[in-house]
Amino acid sequence: MNARPMRAPALWQALLPLLFLSIALALAVRLYGDNASYGANQISLLLAAGVAAIVGLRNGLRWEDIQDALVHGVSLAVVPIFILLAVGALIGTWILSGTVPMMIVYGMQLLHPAYFYPAACLICAIVALTIGSSWTVAGTLGVALIGVAQGLDMSLPITAGAVISGAYFGDKMSPLSDTTNIAPAAAGADLFEHIRHMIWTTGPSIVIALVLFTLMGLGNRSGSDSAAFNDLPGLLDARFTLGWYLLLPMLVVFGLAMRRFPAFPTIMIGALIGAVFAVVFQPDAVVALAGNDDLSRPMALLSGAWTAMFDGYQAETGNAALDDLLTRGGMSSMLNTVWVVICAMGFGAVMERTGLLERMIRSVLKAARSTGALIASTLVTAFGANVVTADQYMSIVLTGRLFQPEYRRRGLAPVNLSRALEDAGTMTSPLIPWNTCGAYMAATLGVATLDYLPYAFFNLVSPMVALVLAYAGFKILRLPDTDATPPPAASATHTPPPRS
């Protein structure tokens, strides 16, 4: 059934839910501090969605229309939700199998504190460039690097920032990345022209990020000063049977990702291989995790591997710091993040269906008179859409759809738009706590979004570099005189399911 016509919303109506959300989130932080993301933020998002729904009803929208929008909006988060659950299972089985402990041991042997941060960034950048997935890099190498950072007594927020910076650089410059394909499609640009054009913003940004990470690590001249981690490799060796072969699950996951296998089955396969490796190489640890003396050994092995997938690994070594390092993972550890994602996607869906989001974007577009202002408006809009819709794919497609005709009308090549979509829509997504990317990174790396945000240098610098180049008029390409017909705009209702 088609929705009946509704009155166009006023600008103040479009801003009202955002104002309410800002006040609610500020109160949540004031009342609950770091624990605001464990329920208070979700309530804020739902209440803000209610405010948007009331505005929509007042303008003639039916509740059935809003309900359908909620269903559609949350459906866009289904694939990320399953990926989140799969990563939880993978972390649990990879710790139990000894894969993560082996990666930590190798990392501590190879990475000196003085250059740990830039090295972590570079390693993640290279792997993400190869496989085209920032999420896979964070869920595998990122988890291990966080463990190495704990062993070397390094800052976890800075380490998370280095992991995310490297992962997003490699992801954005890889033709295998989903967002790197979606951005030029939404803007009407060629994929490889888009990648070449991004070099002018991502290149300087990653250099600046590496310089900053190098400066942050200059004061670290020796290993861990923490007595709890003075012999972390020895502690892990006493707990697990370690060997190079324990890295095979990681190689399988990277191999599947390089072959563009979908992210959810790739990560689930990695989790299952980790469970098999745990049973084969760490049978005593698996039986201990099962915690049921009444079970036969085969059933205890099955129970322990199964437990690692849904409830993670529970370490009881007697060393509190080591237990905190290893007690992680399981699908259950991702449920709070799933809660955030569902509430955020619901808010974004209502904002879009009621026309409030488009009303704000139209106001921004109307105020952009110069080329620099148009690109700046694109950056601001893509970031704002990330905040409101809580999804980088929606941010890219929606902004691209609305701005593409204006870029064409002004004679600007579509690669200018596609680059701006990436510089703000993709890069800022992990910096927003309730965005699918921000929620994923926080849950996977175990560092709160607002804690690592100041150190995600690449993601912070990239939009600034793009803004400087826009107003300087540097590398702003124009359309040939013969190119006057804009291609069809991408539809926000057909956003490809995320796989990064």
DSSP assignment letter at 486 = P
Top pLDDT among 209 and 6 is at: 209
What gap in Å lies between CA 293 and CA 287, rounded to an integer?
9
What digits encode the pLDDT tens for the residues 459-499?
A: 999 999 999 999 998 888 888 864 444 444 444 444 444 44
- Cβ atoms of 198 and 463 closer than 8 Å: no
The pLDDT of 26-43, averaged and rounded, is 82
pLDDT above 70 (res 407): yes
Domain boundaries along the sequence of the chain = 38-77+342-494, 85-333
Range with the largest mean pLDDT of 46-60, 76-90, 334-348, 472-486? 46-60
What gap in Å lies between CA 386 and CA 432, rounded to an integer?
8
What gap in Å lies between CA 403 and CA 377, rounded to an integer?
9
Top pLDDT among 4 and 210 is at: 210
Range with the largest mean pLDDT of 24-33, 181-190, 238-247? 238-247
pLDDT at 221: 54
What digits encode the pLDDT tens for the residues 278-324?
A: 999 999 999 999 988 888 989 999 999 999 999 999 888 777 777 87
pLDDT above 80 (res 224): no
Question: How many other CB atoms are there within 10 angstroms of residue 186's CB atom?
Answer: 29
State whether residue 412 is helix, strand or coil: strand
What gap in Å lies between CA 131 and CA 173, rounded to an integer?
11
Residues 6+ apart with CB under 8 A from 205: 169, 458, 461, 462, 465
pLDDT at 490: 41
pLDDT above 90 (res 214): yes
Percent of the chain residues topping a pLDDT of 70: 93
| Entry pTM | 0.80
